Amino acid sequence: MIFTMRILDWLSAGRQIRRMKNLPLIIFVVLAGQGCLSHNLFDAAGSGRVSEIKAKLAAGESVNARDHKGRTPLMVAASRQYPESVAVLLASNADINAQDERGETALMKAARQCDTSSFAKDTDDGMKVMNMLIDAKADLNMKDKGGDTALMKAADRDRKPCALLLLRAGADINLRNNAGETALHIAEARHASDVAHLLRTMTKRELKRLREERLEQERLEAERREQEKKEAEAQGVKPEEAKAEEAKAAPPKPADAKTSEAK
């Protein structure tokens, strides 16, 4: 609104609006300015500005807001490979399986843009984002409007480490898109040699081994968290999950109540 008023003040101060044929352009500039301001949460998500994301969510902006392409902040953060932003948005109950106007999910966007080092590690940003989304129970086999899955997106860009993550998590290697292509067909057509070789070696036995390996990793991680929780309780320190639940149950402060009433 402030932006709109400034534009109108500027126009009225000069002679720029003497001819009505300029009016459509003026309206476009004003609306474009308002659109940019209303999408600040998307800018923050797409730039890794975690503190700004938290501030805007705390101010009441929706974690599942949509931009002009139907994308949510989570999709933008996942596409730009910002694990810290993805973590904050997931913790704020972002819709993990929301789809944009092309039918793409955050996982699909992350798989397509999954940049890693030459020897991929779990500490690479691309791997972190993929693991976060998979751990948050993203639908591995959801399709976009063209019938493509996250595995197909990884195959299209030859993202072998992320394709392997998806296979290990249980992605279906045999699904076909609307053109009748599997992930292997796409990899071969794009000359994505690394992913093509990976997919050719994926026998049923190997797929089973990979999935059992991931389940074992998840089991060990769950045991580690449980052990940390027990140790914290033994020392009289409340686990983070318990603190979060208490914070939710606590009555709002008077200042917060006023803010809510004002809204």
- pLDDT, tens only, 98-136: 999 999 999 999 999 987 766 777 788 999 999 999 999
Contact 149, 171 (CB under 8 A): yes
Residue 223 confidence class, pLDDT cut points 50, 70, 90: confident
| Mean per-residue pLDDT over the chain, rounded | 80
Query: Helices in the chain by DSSP H: which ranges?
Result: 2-13, 23-38, 40-45, 50-58, 73-80, 83-91, 106-112, 125-135, 150-156, 160-169, 183-189, 193-200, 204-234, 240-249, 254-262
CA dist., res. 54 & res. 52, Å (int): 5
pLDDT in tens, 133-176: 999 999 999 999 999 999 999 999 999 999 999 999 999 999 99
Its sign, for the CA torsion 90, 74, 215, 217, is negative
Torsion sign (Cα): 224, 227, 231, 236: positive
Q: Which residues contact 245 (CB under 8 A, 6 or more apart)?
A: none
Tell me if the pTM is above 0.75. no
Question: Would you state the pLDDT for residue 260?
Answer: 37
Q: Are 192 and 158 in contact (CB under 8 A)?
A: yes
Find out whether 81 and 124 touch, Cβ atoms under 8 Å. no
